[in-house]
């Protein structure tokens, strides 16, 4: 079941999205030469985190119990 995002999560995505746009623009304009690399790295990490958030969590199954020996056998 997917839960709705909170307003804080939406603000965090907007802020990170704006930074991811500003870095390559600064690299293209020549103001920040490493901007393209940082934007790529940042988007890769953010994408990994967003993908991981969609993966369902499963609990570890209990270990199987051994069958009890019948008494008198």
Residue 24 lies in a domain: yes
Taking the model in full, what pTM does it have?
Answer: 0.52
Residue 40 lies in a domain: yes
Distance CA 67, CA 64 (A): 9
Q: How many domains does the chain contain in total?
A: 1
pLDDT value of residue 73: 56
Residue 8 lies in a domain: no
Q: Provide mean pLDDT across the span 16-41.
A: 86
Domain that holds residue 39: 15-54
Distance CA 28, CA 59 (A): 47
Residue 45 lies in a domain: yes
pLDDT value of residue 29: 92
8: pLDDT confidence band, cut at 50, 70 and 90? low
- Would you give the DSSP letter of residue 49? H
């Amino acid at each position: 079941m997917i839960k709705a995002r909170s307003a804080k999560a939406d603000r965090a995505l907007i802020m990170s999205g704006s930074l991811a746009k500003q870095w390559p623009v600064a690299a293209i304009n020549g103001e920040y030469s490493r901007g393209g690399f940082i934007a790529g790295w940042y988007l890769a990490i953010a994408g990994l985190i967003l993908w991981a958030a969609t993966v369902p969590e499963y609990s570890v199954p209990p270990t199987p119990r051994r069958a009890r020996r019948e008494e008198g056998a």
